[in-house]
Amino acid sequence: MRLIGQIAVNVFKESVRDKVLYNLVAFAVLLIAVSYLLGQLTAGQDMKIIKDLGLAAIASFGRLIAVFIGIGLVWKEVERRSIYSLLSKPIRRHEFVLGKYAGLALTLLVNVLVMTVAFYAILAYLNTLYPESIQVTWPAPATDPGMLRAILLIFVELLLITAVALFFSTFSSPFLSAALTLGLWVIGHFNDDLRSFEAVVESPVAAYFARGLYYVLPNFGAFDIKTQVVYALPVPWLYVVTTMAYGCVYIAMLLTGAVAIFSRRDFK
């Protein structure tokens, strides 16, 4: 466990050295610039649009980090041949894989936390620009803490994407890993269509196959409750908790697979 922690801290330090956290500046600039411009364009819908944009930006920056760093976690060590010196030390392969994963998870956590603080700070500032007569017409207060539920699920989604990227990177090239991860993420938004596939095909085999895929493929759409929180629609905590549990089980499955594949790899 201590070794996993040390590897994780190293991955985090490396991401800081690689200036990954610069995206936080891009996030802040994007939100401030958009908030300034939107008032003229949106016919009174600026607060809703800034919330939509902020939540989408937190998810998007996180996804880019999860995919493009996730695919290089193992590959970089192999490419630099530093994997030989690493594995010659008393580090077991599963510790190496889990440490790498935990390190990127820590990077993502710091990213999401900082972006969330910046997001709420900008919303709090914008809130001061509107009179109370306008504020009462919003479906939710500017700094509605209910949005944290969406951010929590975004974070779990990012952890899942990282696990997918790491899984693919244990046996394929970075380009292929990125393509497979992004492909799986896209397919993961079509789960509802897979469930109702039997309505559009006549072949029972195809319908069963689609139904099977519906259960097996990760349901990324389930993590998206951004619209609901922006309108302050009810999102029961039970839903949030079961979706988080679903994400955690899927992550555990992918990490187990990644460890199993990596353990069998021959680096001679």
Partner 1 sequence: MNLRTFLLLGVLAAGAVGLQAVHELNGGMPASTTANLLYVRSPDAMKRLALSYDSLLADVYWVRAIQHYGTTRLSIDPTTQFDLLYPLLDLTTSLDPHFTVAYYFGSLFLAEPPPGGPGRPDHAIALLEKGLEALPDRWELAQSIGFVHYWWLQDYDEAAAWFTRASEFPNAPIWMAPLAAVTLAEGGSRESSRLLWREIAQGVDDEWFRNEAARRLRQLDAMDHLDGLTGAVAAFEQQTGRTPSDWEELWRAGYLPGVPVDPTGIPYRLESGVVGLGDGSPLSPLPTGPAQIR
Residues that bind partner 1 (CB under 8 A): 41-45, 48-49, 52-53, 56, 59, 134, 137, 139, 185-186, 189-190, 193, 220-221, 223-224, 226-227, 230-231, 233
Comparing CB distances to partner 1, the nearer of 135 and 173 is: 135
Integer distance in angstroms from the first to the last C-alpha of the chain?
Answer: 27
Instruction: Give the amino acid at 41.
Output: L
Q: How far is the CB of 45 from partner 1 (least distance, A)?
A: 6
CA–CA distance, 63 with 159 (Å, rounded to integer): 9
The residue among 224, 254, 217 whose CA lies nearest residue 239 is 224
Comparing CB distances to partner 1, the nearer of 49 and 110 is: 49
Comparing CB distances to partner 1, the nearer of 14 and 144 is: 144
The residue among 163, 183, 182, 184 whose CA lies nearest residue 74 is 163
CB 155 within 8 A of CB 62: yes
Q: How far is the CB of 44 from partner 1 (least distance, A)?
A: 4
Comparing CB distances to partner 1, the nearer of 198 and 224 is: 224
The residue among 33, 59, 32, 25 whose CA lies nearest residue 150 is 59
Q: Which value, in Å, is the radius of gyration of the alpha carbons in the chain?
A: 21
Q: How far is the CB of 90 from partner 1 (least distance, A)?
A: 42
Q: How far is the CB of 129 from partner 1 (least distance, A)?
A: 14
CA–CA distance, 37 with 200 (Å, rounded to integer): 44
CB 223 within 8 A of CB 136: no
**Residue 138 class from Cβ within 10 Å (0-12 exposed, 13-18 middle, 19+ buried)?**
middle
Q: How far is the CB of 157 from partner 1 (least distance, A)?
A: 8
Comparing CB distances to partner 1, the nearer of 46 and 77 is: 46
Comparing CB distances to partner 1, the nearer of 90 and 236 is: 236
Q: How far is the CB of 115 from partner 1 (least distance, A)?
A: 16
